[in-house]
Amino acid sequence: MSPNDTPPPLPEPLRVPVADSHTHLDMQAGTVEAALAKAASVGVTTVVQVGCDVAGSHWAAQTAAAWENVWAAVALHPNEAPRIVHGDPAGTSRQGPREPGGEAALDAALAEIDALAALPHVRAVGETGLDFFRTGPDGVAAQELSFRRHIDIAKRHGKALVIHDREAHDDVLRVLAEEGAPDAVVFHCYSGDAAMARICADRGYYMSFAGNVTFKNAQPLRDALAAAPPELVLVETDAPFLTPAPYRGRPNAPYLIPVTLRAMAEVKGMGEDALAAAVAENTARAFGYEAADPA
């Protein structure tokens, strides 16, 4: 095992328990049971497991049904929609070999997401949105169509909408305004600047910050966090990605939430316990579950 494959050590436990608002347990090493136990040992007592395609969304829903402290979000990732409509360039997806299917195939996949979104342990539709970093101009129409359909699914089922926004800030905000946003909108791995944070705050959108807020080159992200109202801030891992400093490049997991939260508290000029309490309450409110009693 190389040093970069070695899991970071356990951080000091939080005194006020919080939730990891966005993780991918299916992409992490080890069992769900072990990951949840490790997280709980440092005060991360709830996780939101996020699906990125039909198979992953079914897995998220099944995992949430099996574990009391797991909630599910289900969706087609923005980069999944063009693959379904135009065919997977690599010839395969997590669901196996795939032939080009057109909009009928996208309709069928979205129908499965719609059915999953009706389940009580599924508390969000996402991650959906727009990604102009990995998808070129030929995929924009499929992405936007899929995004609009996910917004409709979230509103019809009364679920939170979890946004993936990469190099598409203006268009994401435009589509949300055109369609009418659900009651709860969460910008996962918030990547906008302070000006956008103020727009999100005006519209009541939650902003979830990940480990990249700790990176040396992320001052604009820290400026956005500073501008975000405490009542709209969440914390996430996006594990196994975006491991916070000083462990960048090593495997991420929900148990590392305290590292990111402490860095966030410093940026916000808040005490660790005060931010943790706010984040716990915000996450429960956004995803519609009852927060654990800090006592």
Q: What is the C-alpha end-to-end distance of the chain, expressed in Å? A: 40
Is the pLDDT assigned to residue 281 strictly greater than 90? yes
291 falls in which pLDDT band (50, 70, 90)?
confident
Write down the H helix ranges in the chain.
32-40, 54-66, 80-86, 102-117, 140-157, 169-179, 194-203, 219-227, 257-268, 272-287
pLDDT, one tens digit per residue, over 142-177 is 999 999 999 999 999 999 999 999 999 999 999 999
φ, ψ of residue 247 to 5 degrees: the values are -110, 15
pLDDT, one tens digit per residue, over 71-115 is 999 999 999 999 999 875 433 344 444 455 688 999 999 999 999
Task: Give the domain ranges of the chain.
Answer: 16-286
* Ramachandran sector of residue 102 (left: φ over 0; alpha: ψ -120 to 50; beta: rest): left
pLDDT, one tens digit per residue, over 52-71 is 999 999 999 999 999 999 99
**Bigger pLDDT: 181 or 1?**
181
pLDDT value for 4: 80
User: Can you tell me whether residue 231 is helix, strand or coil?
Assistant: helix
**Bigger pLDDT: 139 or 25?**
25
pLDDT value for 180: 98
CATH class for domain 16-286?
A: alpha beta
